[in-house]
Amino acid sequence: MRCGEFRDAVAAWVDGEAGGEPVGMGHLAGCAGCAEWVEGLRRLRSLTEAAPGPSEEWERGLLARLGVVPGPGGGEGYSSGVH
């Protein structure tokens, strides 16, 4: 398996686009570059999972700038405010 094919398969797997372990995981044993790439991907995934999400204030400001308003009753839904 070539590095590009391997990395595409692993990226799809990490993104939840593929079930089970990706084909070609044995490629890691003989490819230091891909092993390093996978380790970087794992670190990135760990950091993004640990990062806090945007604050409610930031989200409200973004939605206001986009012209999006809360749905009826202030519920979860949003609308563009344009009728």
Residue 19 lies in a domain: yes
Residue 60 lies in a domain: no
Residue 65 lies in a domain: no
Categorize the per-residue pLDDT at 10 as very low, low, confident or very high, splitting at 50, 70 and 90.
confident
Residue 34 lies in a domain: yes
The domain containing residue 37 runs over which residues?
Answer: 3-50
Write the pLDDT tens digit of every residue in 15-70: 777 667 777 888 888 999 999 998 998 889 889 889 888 899 998 899 989 988 76
Instruction: Please report which residue ranges of the chain form alpha helices under DSSP H.
Output: 3-14, 27-30, 32-50, 56-66
What is the tally of structural domains in the chain? Answer: 1
Distance of alpha carbon 58 from alpha carbon 56, whole angstroms? 5
Sole residue written with tokens 């806090």: 52
